[in-house]
Amino acid sequence: MSVEKISKQTTNLTAAAFIEKLSAYQSNAELEKIARYFKTEEDDYGAGDQFIGVRMGQVFEVAKAFVSMPVQEIEKLLESPVHEYRAGAVSIMDFRARDKKTTEDVKKALFELYLNRHDRINNWDLVDRAACFVVGSYLFDKPRAILYQLAVSENMWQRRTAMVSTSYFIRKGDLTDTFGIAEILINDREDLIHKAVGGWIRQAGTKNKVQLMAFLEKHAAIMPRTMLRYAIEHFDKSEREYYLNLKRID
């Protein structure tokens, strides 16, 4: 069903109505794929998550139709143990934050909801879906101390939010916080933080390769190997070999 058709049928912008619409797309075949793709064990990432088996493309379509959902209803979606419903919640937040017609008050409410309910944004895909615009875009013309607080949090998803949120700054050519937060996270213990840091400083390097190379000259020897490999992925072979040779033997 197209977004237009869903939108025409959508007059009740509640969490319950969203769940009803999205659940119509449930697929056992998709559920099997998700089980292979996501780590869902109790002691692993996204502990306690439940999945019903809905493709992310369908989640996005329904989210677009519910983009005007009140913030308190979005929070109800975040409270669900079902991953796809929470993915819908952060998608609604993202689409709303991107909309030029969204007021500053609503953007602030979305930003505060994201931070206040970070306990429900508990996997890499949920962070990556919304942090850029819900957090980064909101903070672009404001003090950014909160990102440095998140970067030293015990919660790995808050640390990932600190890094991913700088994606919006990178879009605007502002790289200071990307490299500043990366420096804080250099010695992080989590692989998904290594990947985020490496990926986002690589993205910053597309704006200013010299700045990325200076960062690598300073830190390549101690960076986790995954982080370093992500960071230099777009370098030519000789450049990659140079920075890999700076890496100390683990």
Boundary residue ending a domain (84, 118, 139): 139
CA distance 140 to 109: 16
Exposed/middle/buried for residue 15 (C-beta within 10 Å: 0-12, 13-18, 19+): buried
pLDDT of 250 higher than 60: no
Give yes or no: residues 20 and 135 share one domain.
yes
Give yes or no: residues 128 and 148 share one domain.
no
Here the tokens at position 21 are 């619409």
Cβ neighbours around 80 below 10 Å, total: 17
Convert the pLDDT of each residue in 28-38 to its tens digit: 999 988 877 77
Total number of domains constituting the chain = 2
pLDDT bin (cut points 50, 70, 90) of residue 115 is very high
CA distance 31 to 51: 7
Convert the pLDDT of each residue in 201-226 to its tens digit: 999 999 999 999 999 999 999 999 99
Boundary residue ending a domain (88, 120, 139): 139
Give yes or no: residues 111 and 216 share one domain.
no
Give yes or no: residues 5 and 68 share one domain.
yes
Domain that holds residue 245: 141-250
Cβ neighbours around 8 below 10 Å, total: 10
Convert the pLDDT of each residue in 36-68 to its tens digit: 777 544 444 555 689 999 999 999 999 999 999
Give yes or no: residues 123 and 157 share one domain.
no
Exposed/middle/buried for residue 128 (C-beta within 10 Å: 0-12, 13-18, 19+): middle
Here the tokens at position 249 are 């033997």
Give yes or no: residues 80 and 160 share one domain.
no
- Phi, psi for 69 (deg, rounded to 5): -55, 135
DSSP state of 232: T
Give yes or no: residues 218 and 176 share one domain.
yes
Q: What is the DSSP string of 2-31?
A: -HHHHHHH----SHHHHHHHHHTT--HHHH
Give yes or no: residues 121 and 187 share one domain.
no
Q: What is the CATH number for 181?
A: 1.25.10.90
Give yes or no: residues 222 and 204 share one domain.
yes
